Amino acid sequence: MLIGTTIYALINTAILALMAIGFNLTFGISGIANFAYGAVYILAAYGVWMLLTLFQLPYPVAVLAAVGVNLLLGALIYRFVLLRIRGQALSEVIATFGIGLAILELFRYLGLVGFEYHLPVFVDKSFVIAGTYVDFQRIAIVVFSAVLILGLWFFTHHTAIGLAFRGIAQDERTALTFGIDSNKMATLSMAMGAALAALAAVFIIPLGSISPGEGYDVLIKALAVCIIGGLGSTGGVIAASFIVGFAERFTDTYIGSHWTMIVSLAAILVVLTVKPSGLFGNQKELEERI
């Protein structure tokens, strides 16, 4: 049981990290808390489902199209909505939450609810790892999450755009003096965040089904992970995913399923009490210093 629980805790960690990484990227660079994140995740899932079911497109093409649409949507949200209210945190939250709400409730209004809305798994096989059955999709999630995080690290440390991202994230005004266009970077960060949400949906949705309600769950989980880890910190996302991922699975196995949510929320409270900015965040400390 211990080995099995550890394996599924690792998988849960990877799922949480994959869910949160896009939200974290956008916030880390532009400072925008994209509350439409859960909605764009679901939008991508429905998009892939439609392309597969109604237009019979090959899976990879449908995925690429959905990622592309999300990329564009993220950029458009920034250009036409967020650009005018940039820097007003509450307005940004209200605007993005409103967009998210509109998208999710539109799907609900259109009646896109039911078990027929699901995405196929990549490969329909299970493997035995240390005596525990694990399906290919979950293994794929773990591998993809690891590759994605490494890829993002490489991107932000070894590419011009990535370095510009970090410049804006560290000090926007100084970055401007170096000729880095903060609006352009913020647009890109919104676009990339939305595209990462699409990729997360493509990997995670095949484990269950698509429903508008999932959009709210994803947003809450992404927020929880980012707040524990420290908003904007990739290391924090990884650490928080481990904490929540392991807390959930071990509580489920050794205490009881109905305690899972309580223990996770308690973990959030404990971390925030000890480190108000999250594990790797520094906003509160900076504010206090000023």
Partner 1 sequence: MKKMCLLGLILAVACVGFIPAQTTQAAEPVVIGVPTSTGFLEGKEALKAVNLAVEEINARGGVTVGAEKRPFKVESIDIRDAAPGVPVPEALLGLEKIILEKKPVALVVGPFRSEALMAGMDIIAKYKVPLLGTIAMSPASEAKVKKEPEKYKYIFRTCLNAKFLVKYLAGTMAFINKQYGFNKVYIMNQDVAWARKTAEIITKVYFDKAGWTVVGHEAYPTGTSDFSSGLMKVRATGAQVILPIFDMPQSGTLVKQWNAMKVPALLAGFISPLAGPGAWKTFDAKIGGAINCNFEIGSGVYSDKVAKSKAFAKAYEKRWGGPVEAGHGISPAYESVYLLAEAIERAGSLNADAIVAALEKTDRAGAMGRIKFDQGHQVVYDMDPEKAAVAAVLQWNTDGSRTIVFPPTIADGKIKLPAGLKPVK
Q: How far is CA 160 from CA 157, 167, 193, 230, 280, in A?
A: 8, 10, 18, 25, 25
Helix H or strand E segment including 129: strand 126-129
Q: Which CB sits closer to partner 1, 37 or 249?
A: 249
| Closest among 138, 149, 151 to 17, alpha carbons compared | 149
Q: How many helices (H) and strands (E) does the chain have?
A: 12, 2
Q: How far is the CB of 107 from partner 1 (least distance, A)?
A: 9
Q: Which CB sits closer to partner 1, 8 or 27?
A: 8
Q: How far is the CB of 261 from partner 1 (least distance, A)?
A: 6
Query: Could you list the residues that contact partner 1 (CB under 8 A)?
Result: 1, 4-5, 8, 11-12, 108, 111, 113-116, 118, 120-121, 124, 126, 132-135, 137-138, 207-209, 211-213, 216-217, 248-249, 252-253, 256-258, 260-261
| Closest among 220, 219, 227, 225 to 247, alpha carbons compared | 225
User: What CA–CA distance (Å, rounded) separates 235 from 257?
Assistant: 28
DSSP state of 232: T
- List phi, psi (to 5°) of 132: -120, 130
Q: Which CB sits closer to partner 1, 5 or 182?
A: 5
Q: Which CB sits closer to partner 1, 134 or 168?
A: 134
Q: How far is the CB of 38 from partner 1 (least distance, A)?
A: 13
Q: How far is the CB of 13 from partner 1 (least distance, A)?
A: 12
Q: Which CB sits closer to partner 1, 139 or 192?
A: 139
Q: How far is the CB of 102 from partner 1 (least distance, A)?
A: 15
